[in-house]
Structure 1
Amino acid sequence: MPHSTYTDVGSGDILVFLHGFCENKNVWAEFKKPLQKKFRTIALDLTGFGKNTSGVTDYSMESMAEYVKQELDKLGVKKCILIGHSMGGYTAMAFAAKYSSMLNGLCLFHSSALPDTEEKRENRNKTIEFVEKHGVEKFIQSFVEPLFFADNRPKLRKEINAMIETGIKTPKESIVKGLAAMRDRKDRTEVLKSAKFPVLFIFGKEDGAVPLEKALEQCHLPNNSMVYFLGQTGHMAMFERPYETRKAIEKFAETILG
Structure 2
Amino acid sequence: MPNEFIHNGIAYYKKGKGEVVVLLHGYPMDKNIWLDLITVLSSNHQVIAIDIPGLGSSNALSINAIHTIADQIHELLQHERVDKAVFVGHSMGGYIALAYSDQYRKRVKGLSLVHSTLKADSEDKKIMRLKVIDLIKKGGTKAFLRELFPSLFAADRRNVFKSEWEALYNRHQSVSPTSLIALYEAIMHRKNYAETTWNEFPMQWIIGEKDQLLDPKDLIAQALQSDKSFVSLYPDCGHMSMIENKAQFENDILGFTNYCYAKTNQK
Return the TM-score normalized by structure 2. 0.92
Q: How many residues align?
A: 256
Q: How far 1:21 moved relative to its partner?
A: 0.7
User: Which 4+ runs in 1 deviate beyond 6 A?
Assistant: none
- Cα deviation, 1:201-245, whole Å, max 9, x if unaligned, reads 000001111112321331100111111111110000001111111
1:221 equivalent in structure 2: 225
Work out the CA distance in 1 between the residues paired with 2:72 and 2:118: 19
Match for residue 2 of structure 1 among 1, 4, 13: 4
Q: Report the Cα offset of residue 161 of structure 1.
A: 1.8
Describe the SS at the equivalent of 1:131: helix
- Residue identity matched to 2:72: Y
Name the residue aligned to 2:136.
131
Q: 2:98 aligns with which of 93, 98, 102?
A: 93
SS in 2 for 1:254: helix
Q: 1:70 to 1:214 in 2, by over 3 A?
A: same
- In the alignment, what sits opposite 2:265? none
* Partner Cα distance (2:237, 2:32) in 1: 20
Q: Distance in 1 between matches of 2:138 and 2:21?
A: 39
2:243 pairs, out of 239, 244, 256, with: 239
Offset of 1:59 from its aligned partner? 1.3
Contact kept, 8 Å, 1:24 with 1:166, in 2: the verdict is no
Matched ranges for 1:75-154 at <5 A: 75-154=80-159
Quote the Cα distance in structure 1 between the aligned partners of 2:160 and 2:46: 30
Structure 2 residue aligned with 1:201: 205
Spell out, residue by residue over 1:63-93, the C-alpha distance to the aligned partner (whole angstroms, 9 max, x if none): 1101111111111111110000000000001
Residue 50 of structure 1: how far off its partner (Å): 0.8
- 1:107-127 alpha-carbon deviations (Å, 9 max, x no partner): 000001111112211110110
CA contact (8 A) 2:25 2:93 kept: yes
Contact 1:121 1:183 in 2 (8 A): yes
Tell me how far 1:168 sits from its aligned partner.
Answer: 1.2
Q: How far apart are the structure 1 equivalents of 2:157 and 2:37?
A: 17
Equivalent-residue separation in structure 2 for 1:162 and 1:66 (angstroms):
31
Counterpart for residue 50 of structure 1: 56
Structure 2: runs of 5 or more not aligned = 263-267
For 1:17, the equivalent position in structure 2 comes to 23
Deviation at 1:36, TM superposition (A): 1.4
Please list every run of 5 or more consecutive structure 1 residues that lacks an aligned counterpart in the other structure. none
Q: CA deviation at 1:11?
A: 1.1
